[in-house]
Structure 1
Amino acid sequence: MTAGRAAKRSKRAKRPVETSDFDAFARRILRAYARRVAAGDVEALASMVTLSTEVDAMVRLAVAGLRAKPYSYSWDEIARRLGTTRQAAQQRYGDKSDRHALDSRLLEAGLGVSVATLAQVFADHFPGSPMPSRCPGCGYPYPDGVLECPTNATVRPLLARRRGEDQVAVARLSPVQFADLLKPKPRTTRATVRQSARLAPDPNRPALPLFHLHGEDPTR
């Protein structure tokens, strides 16, 4: 190739490639890979499985870039795109300084955490009654207006959504823990909880049945 042709080629504008084009190309490659393995190449199955680890590592790099300057996306913005909670996104893709308050069992398992682990972690970090000033599982000091530690704020929606996958593990929760898992978390302060606990119950009002989650008044 002459120097003139090389110079002319270097001046040509590169065709921009949209991110969606990369996405479509990657999906085509994965489908082709799956077809090749499915065509009898059993030895390649193990290598194919390791791709999930590679993809996870690349997502971490992408999230780190989005979090850094000049973009500086918040964890809320990233979580909305991932369809998860801020705590779950931070746990999965944040660095150690972001995730220091979360239970190590969650950090080790990541998105592959089992329902049994979720149930055990939820029980270990459950505050109980009367409401303590710190989480019994991790020692997290509950600030005013917060009724659970970062670990249980992460575990609660995951366990509530996946509880049907392992009913034996979920059955190990106490009745109080199970009822608390399913009901919406009240937006009240710790002081309000303590004040409510000191109020004497009305002897003329029948007790609500166990697992009563809908708030109907049984006297009606």
Structure 2
Amino acid sequence: MSKNTVKPALTPKPRTKRSRREVETAQFDAFVRRILRAYARRVATGDVEALASLTALSAEVDAMTRLAVAGLRGKPYSYSWSEIADRLGVSKQAAQMRYGERTDRGALDRRLLEAGIGVTVATLVQVFADHHPGIPAASVCPGCGYRYPEQVLDCPTNATVRPLLLRRRGEDRDALARLTPVQFEDLHKANHTKVTRAARRARPEPPTSAYRATSLFDLAGKDAL
């Protein structure tokens, strides 16, 4: 039997299976933030055509958050809406309206439906705050997931709440004080616009200078004494 002349150093070793690397959620978070900052810097260097794609990422994040919430709500985790809302920093109703079933998105807030005509100013204030688009305005309502049409920044819920809260704002000053300065100013903006328009209509028109011709050939009134 001939001697084995194959040199072990030249013979490839069988590839061993690499152990799976566990990546912590915090590392994912840091990685995504770095990517977003790099994307923003790239757009800022003059790529104006990519601006629309950059802003569209907010809708992608919203959709992925909805998937994450659905997973947390399902088995084996079965987190309650209260637990999810606590992590999101919103009310239970707002979390359920935004990340619940698609049929709920854009529907009137359940707090309004449950209270009916007996709704309190405090409830109106809380609902208005939960569904406020924020500054800068989001592309979808943070309270119910309603996608704002062009030039519209009120979801169906706040379109209902806004006039009610404006009309009843004097009934509970303490509740109204819970609005942030931005929300408070936005609530009164519509009312201020109406007042401004009414004042403009009531303002007398400035007198217009009239020319009177003194002769047949003086049509511009230049010969007036």
In the superposition, the TM-score normalised over structure 1's length comes to 0.51
The answer as to whether partners of 1:79 and 1:86 remain within 8 angstroms in 2 is: yes
What are structure 1's unaligned runs of at least 5 residues? Answer: 129-155, 173-220
Q: Tell me: CA distance 1:83–1:34, structure 2 relative to 1, closer, same or farther (3 Å).
A: same
Whether 2:200 is the aligned partner of 1:169: answer no
Residue 21 of structure 1 corresponds to which residue in structure 2? 27
Report Cα offsets for 1:165-215 as digits up to 9, x if no partner. 34233669xxxxxxxxxxxxxxxxxxxxxxxxxxxxxxxxxxxxxxxxxxx
> 2:77 is matched by which residue type in structure 1?
Y
CA positional deviation for 1:124 = 7.2
Q: Distance in 2 between matches of 1:18 and 1:53?
A: 25
Q: Distance in 2 between matches of 1:116 and 1:166?
A: 14
CA positional deviation for 1:21 = 0.2
Residue 110 of structure 1 corresponds to which residue in structure 2? 141
Q: Tell me: CA distance 1:100–1:49, structure 2 relative to 1, closer, same or farther (3 Å).
A: closer
What are structure 2's unaligned runs of at least 5 residues? Answer: 1-10, 111-130, 132-138, 168-174, 194-225
Residue 64 of structure 1 corresponds to which residue in structure 2? 70
Q: Distance in 2 between matches of 1:82 and 1:93?
A: 11
Q: Distance in 2 between matches of 1:15 and 1:116?
A: 44
Residue 5 of structure 1 corresponds to which residue in structure 2? 14
CA positional deviation for 1:5 = 2.8
Q: Tell me: CA distance 1:117–1:164, structure 2 relative to 1, closer, same or farther (3 Å).
A: farther
Q: Distance in 2 between matches of 1:80 and 1:92?
A: 14
Report Cα offsets for 1:24-45 as digits up to 9, x if no partner. 0000000000000001111111
Whether 2:74 is the aligned partner of 1:74: answer no
The answer as to whether partners of 1:79 and 1:85 remain within 8 angstroms in 2 is: yes
> 1:110 is matched by which residue type in structure 2?
C
Q: 2:42 aligns with which of 25, 36, 42?
A: 36
Residue 121 of structure 1 corresponds to which residue in structure 2? 160
RMSD: 3.8
The answer as to whether partners of 1:79 and 1:89 remain within 8 angstroms in 2 is: yes
Report Cα offsets for 1:13-32 as digits up to 9, x if no partner. 21210000000000000000
Computing the radius of gyration from Cα coordinates, the structure with the larger value is 2
Sequence identity percentage: 52
Q: What secondary structure sits across from 1:167 in the alignment?
A: helix
Residue 49 of structure 1 corresponds to which residue in structure 2? 55
> 1:34 is matched by which residue type in structure 2?
A
